[in-house]
Amino acid sequence: MLPNPYTPSDRPRVFIGRDQERTVLRDKLARVAAYGEMMGPLTVVTGPRGVGKTSLLRDVAGQAEEDGFVVAWVSCVKQQPFLGEIVDRVERSLERAQVTAPGGRRLKEITVELSAGFAKVRARLESSAVAQSTALVGPLEDLLARAGQLVRERGGAGLVVMIDELHAPLESGREWEYAPDRQALLHGAVLLNALQNLGGVRDGIPVGVIGAGLPQTKGLLTRAATFGERSHELVLGEFGRADAARLLEAPATELGVSWSPDALTSVVDTARGYPQSLQILGAATWEAARPERGSVLDLAAVEAGSRSARTALASIFEARWAVATASERSFLQAMATVGRAVVRRGEIAERLNTSTESLSMVRRNLITKGIIEEAGYGRLRFTIPGFETFVLDQESIREDPT
């Protein structure tokens, strides 16, 4: 039997589309490699949950490694300080990496050379007395710059730090006011300051830092440091129909399996360009059809898989529902009852018998959580197709507890 080539919650086997964003990021790194200079201000990839931020970063990281970069990968956690994690990941990636370019030596030695630098940053991080960013910025700058330089001296291209879920540490702990974890916010400020300073020097600092996070990431960074707005943002949206079809076809083609045109159209329609849904529907269709080389996935297979696809989609919906507060749930339900893909803010306020202003905090929180997004001025929509139906079901369960 052929293995299922779809990856509902994993890095895709065949990376599709995102040509523009990929080119931007690759060009930035190519400049670091060519001139041995700092990539510039922090670049962040933003978009709602499941749109493909991590996949894009992984793809760029893979390419960077092929091009001789050492890549440190950091995944942030809600309201948790993250500089310690960056330092650990940089150290480990240096230990693991082997720069094979001419003059390349095993990079484990670099961590020995940098051990004083690692120790210094760690000591500063541990002394909880450090309430100001200035004590940390310098040591972090030195560490990143020196790490990049040493990689290059060994024949590599430089150091890349990828920071996924960058919104998470900076998130508010309370619903009605911005109440971040102070230490986590400080770490955001330190990172931005260090990158700003390194960018000012630029020459001889072969380092790039790329982040990814939910749509509010840039706003949160600006709260952490006034020049957070100087970070460069790449906004990811849904796939167009052609890319959506390719996302379904390409992994199947590799195994000699094809899609019938009507089956393809049906799945593309259901998923509305949302990569996570496309992967779920693709996986479910495949599972139901159990194709062999030469098989065609047809409409019957899509229908046969639809039950398990619905279950998989429901678990995504449930995860989103679970993180929504009571007032956010009412908002979502009011929005869903409108029954259109794009909803005016006023329509939601009307249904809740209140003003749009009084809902602005709830609205913003829902955007921050990646559950809804702006769709033009004063208009909103659900980020993931099908969520509105799920939301309405929740309501009927609540009203009719049988």
Query: Which residue ranges make up the site for ligand ATP (CB under 6 A)?
Result: 7-10, 12, 15-18, 47, 49-55, 247, 275-276, 279
CB of 144 to ligand ATP, least distance (A): 24
Q: Does 46 bind Mg ion (CB under 5 A)?
A: no
Closer residue to Mg ion (CB): 196 or 383? 383
DSSP helix/strand/coil, 124: helix
As a dihedral over the C-alpha atoms of residue 241, residue 246, residue 249, residue 252, rounded to 10 degrees, the angle is -150
Q: DSSP state, 148?
A: H
| HSE toward the beta carbon, residue 160, CA cutoff 13 A | 31
Partners of 297 in the β-ladder? 259
CA 326 to chain centre: 26
Q: 130 vs 323, which CB is nearer to ligand ATP?
A: 323
At its nearest, how many Å lie between ligand ATP and the CB of residue 109? 35
The closest of 322, 317, 327, 314 to 382, measured between CA atoms, is: 317
Q: Which is nearer to ligand ATP, 225 or 278 (by Cβ)?
A: 278
Minimum distance from residue 299 beta carbon to ligand ATP (Å): 23
Give 3-state DSSP helix, strand, coil % of the chain, rounded to 5: 55, 10, 30
CA pair distance 123, 201, nearest whole angstrom: 26
14 or 361, CB closer to ligand ATP? Answer: 14
Residue facing Mg ion at closest CB distance: 54
CB of 297 to ligand ATP, least distance (A): 17
Residue 247 near which of Mg ion, ligand ATP, none (CB within 5-8 Å, type-dependent): ligand ATP
Do residues 168 and 213 touch, judged by C-beta distance below 8 A?
Answer: yes
Name residues whose C-beta falls within 8 Å of residue 300's C-beta, 6 or more positions apart in sequence.
none
Q: Which of 4, 7, 54, 111 binds Mg ion (CB under 5 A)?
A: 54
Nearer to ligand ATP, 10 or 269 (CB): 10
Please, what is the minimum distance in Å from the beta carbon of residue 25 to ligand ATP? 13
Q: Residue 257 or 348: which CB sits closer to ligand ATP?
A: 257
Binding partner of residue 191 among ligand ATP, Mg ion, none, CB under 5 to 8 Å per kind? Answer: none
Q: Nearest approach, Cβ of 60 to ligand ATP (angstroms)? A: 11
Instruction: Report whether 284 contacts 274 (CB < 8 A).
Output: no
The residue among 53 and 120 lying less far from Mg ion, judged by its C-beta, is 53
Q: Kindly give, in sequence order, each residue whose CB lies less than 8 Å from that of residue 370, ignoring residues fewer than 6 positions away.
A: 47, 48, 49, 214, 215, 320, 383
Q: How far is the CB of 208 from ligand ATP (least distance, A)?
A: 19
> Nearest to ligand ATP by Cβ — which residue?
52
Show the site string, 237-276: x = touches Mg ion by CB under 5 A, - = not: ----------------------------------------
Collapsed DSSP state (helix, strand, coil) of residue 375? coil
CA atoms within 13 A on the CB side of 140: 28
Residues engaged in binding Mg ion (CB under 5 A): 53-54
